Amino acid sequence: MQLSINRRLLRNNCLFFFITLFLLELFFISIKKDSNQIPNKSQFGQQIDSTNRRRQQQQQPQQQQQQYFFNYLQPKHHSVQCNALYEGDQDELKHALALLSDLKHPQPIDNKYYNITKDQCAVYKSERFNYPYHTRDEENKNYPIAFTILMYEHVEAFERLLRVIYRPQNYYCVHVDNDASTDVYDGVKNIVQCFDNVILVSKREQVVYATFSRLQADLNCMNDLFKYANWKYLLNVANTELPLKTNSELVKILKIYRGYNDIEGRWKTRNLHRTEYRWETIRAKDSDKQITIKKTNEKKKPPPSSIEIVKGSAYGAFSRQFVEFVLTSPIAKELLDWSRDTYSPDEHYWASLNFNTHLHAPGSYKAKDDPTKWTARFVNWGERNCYDPLLVERRGICVFGIVDLAILPNRRELFANKFSLTGDPIAYQCLEELIMNKSLVDLPLSDASYYRQMPFLQPL
Ligand SMILES: *[C@@H]1O[C@H](CO)[C@@H](O)[C@H](O)[C@H]1NC(C)=O
Ligand SMILES: *[C@@H]1O[C@H](CO)[C@@H](O)[C@H](O)[C@H]1NC(C)=O
Ligand SMILES: *[C@@H]1O[C@H](CO)[C@@H](O)[C@H](O)[C@H]1NC(C)=O
């Protein structure tokens, strides 16, 4: 009796054991399959391309998953619902923040991986730049925009920025700092060789923060781009930035601006010490590398041509005629020379040319208002809370993160400064996804009346 019960118990236990084993096995197989699928594919690329792929799949029903030649150039995809983050969904935000903190120290793709050779360009472009608007953009064909892109690190950031703003009719000039690593320079060069309308700057500067070199780098690119005859506006961009508008929206806004410059300017908060005294560059010991600049006690002569210095931003939207004026007019040249030993001339040069009415610079502002309205950049100078203290950049600018996503789609500015692939790659992925999605449809410009009412467009 005792024995038979035990035997039944044993049999039942064995049965239970094998069934559990079987279920566990099934479970692990399915997990393994999922994790095999996720890391290597660009989820986003697949989503965007879903119509194409559906067509392909109809032709070849077996082909389930795209294999890339440049698998290692597909950015890591983070599984978050960007749409929910844009809508301020708190649960998704918690999930995304947890995912971000799990990442610990996110690293961009190794610069060395951008070793694309000329004969690989077709494959590279089909895997990374294969969107309808990358090959044709009929709507905006006659309204090319020129871009300067300044950078010193992270080829991946450059590639992803270019991928969002690239259009066949536009022009792009890339300035890689003279002291950037050769891996960075070579990586960028390899990408650039694949495009007819993307160039490397002909003269590289060693860019040191707050010195003249930053302005000179942009000017070198402007000079190179001016040779291309038909672009309408020039936007200068850093590779830590991302657009808040699609190319088609940029065109619509710039058409409303009809040749007027979109430049920030402030007369009252001028930081006079920046331009009243001479600043000198400090060089590193045993090298002529500049490292920083320092104020001297030597007073500067007043600026040429009775120009009043106006504080603004290094970034703007400059009309072609304004760029021509900057590159060719003697007054612009004199102000440039006068600015060489000032602090951060990139932040007063454009504004001073644009807001001194007596210079009659093309597309310039006609009055002396303070402060001016402008739309070229959304910068969070810490006025809004930086949610993550680690993301405050040392120059006091907050890096945009997932918490900021809910406010970005409704901003009117053209670009946002700044993002970080090492700080918050998820915010990066989501903004990319939004702009790429919006590029597939051509909707009317929302807020057109806002742009029409910009003060620099009003007749006086
Ligand atoms: C992609 O998958 C292959 C094999 O499936 C692996 O060897 C390679 O390291 C993976 N690449 C990345 C970037 O994860
Ligand atoms: C480029 O780098 C990858 C990864 O290190 C390597 O597998 C590949 O062979 C390299 N290609 C060329 C053309 O050197
Ligand atoms: C982008 O489009 C894909 C495919 O339609 C969609 O799943 C995704 O939610 C969209 N994302 C955004 C931010 O619009």
User: Which ligand 3 atom is at minimum distance from the Cα of 437?
Assistant: 1
What pLDDT score was predicted for residue 268?
74
Tally the domains of the chain. Answer: 1
Substitution site in 42, 46, 47 for ligand 3 pocket (most atoms within 8 Å of beta carbon): 47
Distance of CA 70 from the midpoint of ligand 2 (Å): 9
Distance CA 313, CA 344 (A): 10
CA of 27 to the centre of ligand 1 (A): 23
Three-state SS for 315? coil
Per the annotation, the verdict on 347 as an active-site residue is yes
Lookup result for tokens 């504080």: 311
Q: From the CA of 246, how far away is ligand 2's center (Å)?
A: 33
| CATH number of the CATH domain containing 138 | 3.90.550
In this structure, the chain runs to a length of: 460
Separation of alpha carbons 392 and 260, rounded Å = 33
Q: What average pLDDT values come out for the chain (460 residues) when binned by 10 residues?
A: 62 76 70 44 44 46 66 93 97 95 92 97 95 89 97 97 97 97 98 98 94 96 96 97 97 97 85 87 79 90 94 96 98 97 94 95 86 89 61 70 93 95 94 96 93 88
User: Residues of 139-157 as b/e, b for ≥16 C-beta within 10 angstroms?
Assistant: ebeebbbbbbbbbbbbbbb
- Point out the ligand nearest to the CA of residue 186: 2
- Ligand 2 and 113: CB distance under 6 A: yes
Nearest-ligand number for the alpha carbon of 124? 2
**Which of the listed residues 32, 69, 71 should we mutate to test ligand 1's pocket, taking the one with most ligand atoms within 8 A of CB?**
71
71 alpha carbon to ligand 1 midpoint, in Å? 7
In a domain, 38, yes or no: no
Ligand nearest to the CA of 74: 1
Tell me whether residue 245 is in a domain.
yes
| pLDDT value for 388 | 58
Predicted structure pTM score: 0.82
Q: Which candidate, 329, 313, 308, places its Cα nearest to that of 215?
A: 313
Domain contains 189: yes
**Cα–Cα distance between 31 and 257 in angstroms, integer?**
54
Residue 22 Cβ < 6 Å to ligand 1: no
Domain that includes residue 201, residue range: 109-378+419-460
Question: Is 343 a domain residue?
Answer: yes
Confidence (pLDDT) at 18 = 78
Which residue lies with its CA nearest to atom 9 of ligand 1? 72
What one-letter code names the amino acid at 340? R
Contact 174, 151 (CB under 8 A): yes
| DSSP one-letter string for 374-432 | --SEEE--SSSPPS-GGGB-TTSPBPP-GGGGGGGGG---SEEE---TTT-HHHHHHHH
In this predicted structure, what is the pLDDT of residue 136? 85
Does 1 map to a domain?
A: no
Residue 403, domain member (yes or no): no
Q: Which residue lies with its CA nearest to atom 9 of ligand 2?
A: 115
**What's the pLDDT at 447?**
94
CB 83 within 8 A of CB 47: no
Whether residue 428 lies inside any domain: the answer is: yes
- Among protein residues, the one with the nearest Cα to ligand 3's atom 12 is 434
Sheet arrangement for strand 415-417: 241-243, 415-417, 377-379
Residues 17, 30, 82, 315, CA torsion sign: positive
Ligand 1 within 6 A of CB of 39: yes
d(CA 225, CA 428) in angstroms, rounded, equals 28
Tell me the ligand closest to 77's alpha carbon.
1
pLDDT at 289: 77
What's the pLDDT tens digit per position in 302-322?
Answer: 999 999 999 999 999 999 999
> What distance lies between CA 55 and its chain's CA centroid?
32
Longest dimension (CA), the chain: 114
Degrees to nearest 5, angle at CA 327 with 322 and 330:
100
Going by C-alpha positions, the residue among 289, 175, 158 that lies closest to residue 224 is 175
163 in helix, strand or coil? helix
ω into 418 cis (within 30 of 0): yes
In a domain, 341, yes or no: yes
Residue 145, beta-bridge partner list: 233
Q: How many A from CA of 440 to the centre of ligand 3?
A: 11
